[in-house]
Amino acid sequence: MNRQQALEFMLENVRTSNLRKHILAVEAVMRRLAARFGEDADKWGLAGLLHDIDYETTKDSPDRHSLVGGEMLETAGLAPEIVEAVKAHNDHHGLPRPTLMAKALHASDPLTGLIVAAALINPAKKLGAIDAKFIMNRFGEKAFARGARREPMLAAKAELGLDLEEFVALGLEAMQGISAELGL
């Protein structure tokens, strides 16, 4: 499946505008991380683009979210490492994340929410108006971006070999590159 086919597949299954933007943000971050690690950006991008393919049908059943998506991707013929990364990105299942791609997807998913929240509290409400330091200054505030789980992002050091600030900076850079698509 190429990127255009994956995008169409995602658009057929995801109707919510904000969820679509989140998915595009995760795709961008995954592509940037793949470039940083010398990995296949197209493959990593597909994992990001398809990671929440089942969310609208499983949002009330966290025990099914990502497993249903993984089955959908298997049926569609996606590479096993993409399927594995998508299934394992949901902490609810406790699945291992043996590949760098799976670890990156797990950490990137909540990172995008943190970055969007940081942009929205800035008076300009634009990704271009913030930097990694701005985000890092808010990172420790429990009330800030409450839904953005910190644990996967903090694991970037152990699992990806990236300091938190570098991880945040790479994610922000990736999202700034598609800011028009994200409306930020």
**Residue numbers of the domain that contains 170:** 3-182
CA-nearest of 153, 151, 184 to 166 is 153
pLDDT, one tens digit per residue, over 37-54 is 999 999 999 999 999 999
Distance separating alpha carbons of residues 67 and 89, to the nearest angstrom: 10
Is the CB of residue 118 less than 8 Å from the CB of residue 175?
Answer: no
pLDDT, one tens digit per residue, over 82-127 is 999 999 999 998 999 999 999 999 999 999 999 999 999 999 999 9
pLDDT, one tens digit per residue, over 145-182 is 988 999 999 999 999 999 999 999 999 999 999 999 99
Q: What's the total number of domains in the chain?
A: 1
Give the global pTM.
Answer: 0.97
CATH number at residue 102: 1.10.3210
Specify the pLDDT at position 165.
97
